[in-house]
Amino acid sequence: MTQQATEKDLRQDLVSPAEADLDNVQKREALVRVRKTRLNQETTEEEYIAIRPFLTTPAQGELSAGRTINLGNYESAKVQVTITVPCYREEITSVLKVVEELCEAKLADKVDEIESALSEFNSGGRK
């Protein structure tokens, strides 16, 4: 047995199963077609999203944001947005920044929707 062969065998022994299986994992990365159908709407949206399998147990980056809107007459509407994203521990800070922006945008959209409907209702546009 040569010294090169021995070093190669030792390196293979030091490689974790996850690293040894990296080629197989990369082959499993794919695009997935996702369909979105919203309640009371006839249209369906389709998009392709890239997925990647995790080599280890992922961390969960989660953020919630909420707001209570006074509707008048002692009534209120509460809007809550929670987004959870799996990620590697090393990515959690950057993932949470993205999740925060998305959470704030979704919350603002819902608040605008409620306030617009409330304004229409209060101006006599009742159906």
Say whether both 65 and 116 belong to one domain.
yes
Say whether both 41 and 60 belong to one domain.
no
Say whether both 43 and 89 belong to one domain.
no
- CB 107, CB 83: distance < 8 Å: no
Sign of CA dihedral 94, 59, 99, 32: positive
Say whether both 32 and 62 belong to one domain.
no
Whole-number Å distance between alpha carbons of 92 and 110? 26
Q: What is the pTM of this model?
A: 0.58
Of 39, 55, 71, the one marking the end of a domain is: 55
Domain ranges, residue 116: 56-127
Say whether both 102 and 112 belong to one domain.
yes
- The structural domain count of the chain equals 2
Of 55, 70, 101, the one marking the end of a domain is: 55
Query: What is the DSSP code string of 63-114?
Result: EEEEEEEEEETTEEEEEEEEEEEEE-GGGHHHHHHHHHHHHHHHHHHHHHHH
pLDDT (tens, 9 = 90+) of the chain, 127 residues, equals 444 444 444 444 444 555 555 555 555 677 777 777 777 777 777 888 888 788 888 899 899 999 999 988 899 999 999 999 999 999 999 999 999 999 999 999 999 999 998 888 888 765 5
